[in-house]
Structure 1
């Protein structure tokens, strides 16, 4: 407040001196001369400028600057993975992608695998694909899935395995199978869902695995992936 009054006093003093001496000078001129009229216009404009300056100083003196500005709201956007003839949606927090070869050094249209994780490594999506004709499938999908789970649970550090019933599911108009399971991995609880199906239009066998530390997160991530999966 004292700073504002100092600014205001200075501006008003200058305005007073300008108008006082300016008006004395104008009175010495002919009231009807063009020069006198022009000077009056200039004095009026300058007076308006002085008033504007007072308003600006007032705003400067009393405006409360925030300590920090509120951040602009940001809505994370899911990522659409689209490659090697299929696509699916990755959640905004699960976008670290690693691609690996399966039958060859690098993934291609015939076979491959990808792993998608979050930054903390607490959520993982595993997808593998293999070109095969139906007569080449040695076992029904349910038996193949069970064998895959059995082999996975033999890994070092895995204990207390609990496998739920294998159920059927429809993915992109194809009949598939899936099964939830839980286990302890090096002392930490893990909740997975394994899923398999065959796409007769692309002649591919697909496998999807979801792994998190929470059964609820595993179910949500699984539904998001399979509901968005396009295999042909």
Structure 2
């Protein structure tokens, strides 16, 4: 197969072959979960935003930049697909029937957009909340692998996509610093405070006793 490493094609056959032997309920669950994980990523962003409402401006800026770098990672991944135009394994490897419906012709395989989004979300969340980010990283890695399990991507598609997303999200601190002035200005207004929060509470000032 052109543009597909032999080892990746062989792994695909083995993984999809094993998935074909799973009970039907597990196959159905995998087909749903591989896309439903996107809701989990959205929930992680909402949690970051909520926590950042009572945090300093740099923390709030990073929380707001997380979905921005994720969208950017998706755009870069989608652009990269057009450079190679590699067809989906569910058409290139007909001997291994997929669990999920095969995407339409022209919806190219390399790299995986789902994996790129997952890699970007994991790194973006890690910049703001390490423990939450590690949890998201595990989920994102499993979700990326599921794209192979359901038969719509080769293994090298998801590895490349995940690394691409993570690389794009590595720029989050730079983007966040550029947004700090805007966050500060918005927090100075009632409508902005309603959305972004007022930041950390001011420490109480104790009266100085008279002598």
Q: TM-score range by the shorter chain?
A: under 0.3
Computing the radius of gyration from Cα coordinates, the structure with the larger value is 1
Give the structure with the higher percent strand: 1
TM norm structure 1: 0.20
Higher helix share: 2
**Which structure is higher in RCO with an 8 Å CA cutoff and minimum separation 6?**
2
TM-score of the superposed pair, with normalisation by structure 2: 0.22
